[in-house]
Amino acid sequence: MAADLLRQEPGKAALPVERRGLLTVGLMIATLLMVLDSTIANVAIPHMQASLGATMDEVSWVLTSYIIASAVTMPIIGWVADKFGSRELLLLCTGGFIVFSMLCGISTSIGEMVFFRVMQGVFGAGISPLAQTVMMDINPPERQVKALSVWATGIMIGPLIGPLLGGWLTESYNWRWVFFINVPLGIVSLLLLWALLPSRPRRERPFDLKGFFLLAAGLSMLQLFLDRGQSQDWLNSWEIRIEIMLCISFAWLYIMHHFDTPHPVIERATLRDRNFSLGLLLTMMIGSVMMSVMALLPLMMQSIYGHNVLSTGMLLAPRGAGLMLTMYMSGSIIQHFDVRAVIASGFAILAFSIWQMTGWTIEMGWMPMVVSGIIQGIGIGLVFVPLNALSFATLSPAYRTEGASISGLVRNIGGSIGISIMTALLARNLQISHQDLAGHIGPSSLMGINPAMLEAAGAPGNAAIQMIDGAINQQALMIAYLDDFVLLMWWSLVPIPFLFLFGKMQRRGAADHPPVFE
């Protein structure tokens, strides 16, 4: 039986190691670099476009190709790890990620860049789920929540510091350094993993080639239309219509195949675990909220408040402080409180922080941004780590790698869906708000501004109109952002009722014994 390959006993790690702290450092560096690369390149896109002689549509594939490659690869990480060994696969993924990061940095054409980004996404896809699995395997059950807190720090901090680090490297050195930075840090991680990383037992199971093809095609179409929908005007574009139809078709075929084949690419035993399946749903929800906020805020701070890349990163940094504070405390918190109540309070705090953002104004200082950011980080921290612990608590250790892969995939899909919806609503509400505001502008509301007088004074005749239109645009954009925040606030509260479908965790009172479930 698969569940017998690894036995988890109280006080004993499934895969004991002597230098657990050093191995954790190596895992964290690899995880952080992988997550950073999903956002660090965003601010360097204009510089890449000029350097590589690419159009805006071509250079956008630098981001899209990485996302699609990661999404396609993640579902089979569990099978590959079982077949060839988790140690071998993590070393290969880390080494490949370093090599293709260097090749991205020395690319001379957009074709080379996109190809190397695809390969970077393929190798990077396995780092996070394998690192999460190792963190759980090398720690006894009572320390796994703290271990997940450490791992989650890299997952959550990466998107926060990515734009800041990418902007600083691009402005201070060159856009190529957003990739070169991976090489020295990656080598340190690779050496630590090579020396200390244990290997999980291997187990043979057939590879579901048909299922993988259907799943990969469906995920590719999903990520493609989510990433390109806004630039192609969504359903007004035949490209997006075709991609949506193909996505639905491949998804339906995969679902039918999943229940019909004896050995699907995603094992049915993984999804039969109630806590894990519910955890996937809530992971998608928190991913959609978190990534949507992180996509909206940098643009808002630059377009509304006039901050540059570096000051924007500084204003987003308090989220990381609140996040790290609660992540490191979460292990102790769930020893004394019902995990479901902790997660529910985290979603409530997250919704409260976004509610604070709905009261922002154009004439506002930086303090409200910092305060809401700290509170938001606390809320996310109270959700992410306890939710991971709750999701994996009843899942057999033999299925951890596959579970971690699917969880990471679902989190990324949730983020992509959230960003696409919020971006589309932002553009739509901007147009609606502009039309509504412009409808209230007339001669009586110009406060004595006379275009003829401006022209007589030497200014262009349409200067007043341009000035008024600029003010309307700024106000309409602010309203559109606030409308997005209202929707995200309510969406943050939706997951709370689902928490009562989880099994209840029973605390044993002693610190050296893990919690159990009814």
258: in domain: yes
Which two tokens mark 346? 């985290």
Tokens 């949507």 belong to 292
> Which has the closest alpha carbon to 294: 177, 385, 470, 160?
160
Count of domains for the chain: 3
2: in domain: no
368: in domain: yes
Which of 266, 290, 309 lies at the terminal end of a domain, its last residue? 266
Determine the pLDDT at residue 3. Answer: 44
479 and 350 together in one domain: yes
84 and 162 together in one domain: yes
What is the CATH number for 470?
1.20.1250.20
What percentage of the chain reaches a pLDDT higher than 70?
A: 89
- Please count the helices (runs of H) and the strands (runs of E) in the chain: 21, 2
Q: How many residues does the chain have?
A: 518
Which two tokens mark 121? 């996404």
260: in domain: yes
> Which has the closest alpha carbon to 129: 448, 403, 458?
403
214: in domain: yes
Cα 321 from Cα 330, distance rounded (Å)? 14
Give the burial class of 69: count Cβ atoms within 10 A of its Cβ; 0-12 exposed, 13-18 middle, 19 or more buried.
buried
Determine the pLDDT at residue 512. Answer: 42
Q: Report the mean per-residue pLDDT for the chain.
A: 84
Tokens 């200067």 belong to 463
Tokens 């997550």 belong to 35
What sign results for the dihedral spanned by CA atoms 296, 299, 302, 308? positive
**12: DSSP letter:** B
377 is in which domain, residue-wise? Answer: 269-518
26 and 92 together in one domain: yes
1: in domain: no
220: in domain: yes
73 and 177 together in one domain: yes
pLDDT tens, position by position, 110-148: 899 999 999 999 999 999 999 989 998 898 887 877 787
Cα 475 from Cα 430, distance rounded (Å)? 9
338 and 487 together in one domain: yes
Give the burial class of 335: count Cβ atoms within 10 A of its Cβ; 0-12 exposed, 13-18 middle, 19 or more buried.
middle
Determine the pLDDT at residue 412. Answer: 87
pLDDT over 60 at 460, yes or no: no
Which two tokens mark 324? 């790290």
pLDDT tens, position by position, 420-437: 899 889 988 988 888 888
Pairing of strands 505-506, 516-517: antiparallel
Cα 110 from Cα 515, distance rounded (Å)? 52
Helix 400-438 vs helix 367-392: crossing angle, to nearest 10: 150
Alpha helices in 37-181 (DSSP H): 45-52, 56-59, 61-73, 77-84, 86-105, 110-124, 127-137, 144-172, 177-180
Band of the pLDDT at 493, cuts 50, 70, 90? very high
183 and 241 together in one domain: no
Between 393 and 100, whose confidence is greater? Answer: 100
67 and 86 together in one domain: yes
pLDDT tens, position by position, 220-231: 999 888 888 877
pLDDT tens, position by position, 364-408: 888 999 999 999 989 988 998 889 888 888 888 888 889 989 998
Band of the pLDDT at 443, cuts 50, 70, 90? low
Q: Which residues contact 275 (CB under 8 A, 6 or more apart)?
A: 390, 391, 392, 393, 394, 395, 502, 503, 517
Distance of CA 20 to the CA centre of its chain: 27
190 and 287 together in one domain: no
DSSP collapsed to 3 states, 289-310: HHHHHHHHHHHHHHHCCCCCHH
358: in domain: yes
Distance of CA 317 to the CA centre of its chain: 16
343 and 474 together in one domain: yes
133 and 278 together in one domain: no
Cα 79 from Cα 63, distance rounded (Å)? 27
Cα 183 from Cα 100, distance rounded (Å)? 9
Average pLDDT over residues 310-321: 79
490 and 477 together in one domain: yes
Residue type, 164: L
DSSP string, 141-171: GGGHHHHHHHHHHHHHHHHHHHHHHHHHHHH
CA angle 512–329–397, rounded 5-degree value? 50
Between 332 and 285, whose confidence is greater? Answer: 285
Q: CA torsion angle for 179, 182, 184, 187 (degrees, to 10)?
A: -130
165 and 223 together in one domain: no
Which of 178, 205, 232 lies at the terminal end of a domain, its last residue? 205
Which of 180, 205, 230 lies at the terminal end of a domain, its last residue? 205
pLDDT over 50 at 509, yes or no: no
